[in-house]
């Protein structure tokens, strides 16, 4: 038989037509991929040139407006609250740990005196099973004199007997380095109770 049969000869043009038809699909796919790549590159360039969105919060959790700094009095007030929480709110179980943690708020010149005084407080609280809590009503900060005045109530519990007394406390402070334990950089150099 002859290999040049007329039906077999029509196979080659049909195969070429199918390949050219498939080639059209590849061309369309390549062009659409190129367009998508160009679009994605443009979006990436635009996104990298936009400034990031930064939202800052105050101590109370409200958004801090751009360009405004928190007031120094507010930051000092927050530092005083943190110190009061450690120094004046304790139970016989946690008094040594809390008073030791309050060391981070004491100025270096007063630290030795503070530790000696707190050893007596700690020993007394453990031996007599004394618990103390304070509830500050007002914290007044004077930046010129570098003092903070705290008024409120103190509750002392000793052997199931409760005593409520008014709290009037004066704290003299100075600025110093900010640490993890004392992020306000607030160091107390003098403490006085009463008027």
pLDDT at 1: 47
Mean pLDDT on 54-73: 75
What are the pLDDT digits (tens) for 88-135?
A: 999 999 999 999 999 999 988 888 999 999 999 999 999 999 999 999
Q: Length of the chain in residues, anyone? A: 195
pLDDT band at 52 (very low <50, low <70, confident <90, very high): confident
- Distance CA(54)–CA(115), nearest Å, equals 42
Q: What is the DSSP string of 122-180?
A: HHHHHHHTEEEEEEEEEEEEETTTTEEEEEEEEEEEETTEEEEEEEEEEEEEEE----S
- Distance CA(119)–CA(99), nearest Å, equals 9
Mean pLDDT on 19-29: 76
What average pLDDT does the structure give for the chain? 86
pLDDT of 58 above 80: no
Is the CB of residue 99 less than 8 Å from the CB of residue 85?
no
The pTM assigned to this predicted structure is 0.66
């Amino acid at each position: 038989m002859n290999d040049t049969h007329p039906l077999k000869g029509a196979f080659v043009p049909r195969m070429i037509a199918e390949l050219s038809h498939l080639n059209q699909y590849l061309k369309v796919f390549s062009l659409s991929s190129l367009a998508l790549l160009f679009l994605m590159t443009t979006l990436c360039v635009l996104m990298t040139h936009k400034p990031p969105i930064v939202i800052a919060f105050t101590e109370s959790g409200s958004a801090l407006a751009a360009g405004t700094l928190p007031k120094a009095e507010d930051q000092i007030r927050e530092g005083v609250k943190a110190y009061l929480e450690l120094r004046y709110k304790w139970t016989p179980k946690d008094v040594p740990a809390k008073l030791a943690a309050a060391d981070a708020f004491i100025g270096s010149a007063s630290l030795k005196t503070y530790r000696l005084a707190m050893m007596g407080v700690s020993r007394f609280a453990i031996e007599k099973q004394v618990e103390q809590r304070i509830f500050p009503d007002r914290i007044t900060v004077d930046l010129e004199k570098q003092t903070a005045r705290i008024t409120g109530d103190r509750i002392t519990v000793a052997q199931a007997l409760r005593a409520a007394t008014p709290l009037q406390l004066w704290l003299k402070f100075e600025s110093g380095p900010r640490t993890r334990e004392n992020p306000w950089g607030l160091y107390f150099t003098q403490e006085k109770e009463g008027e």
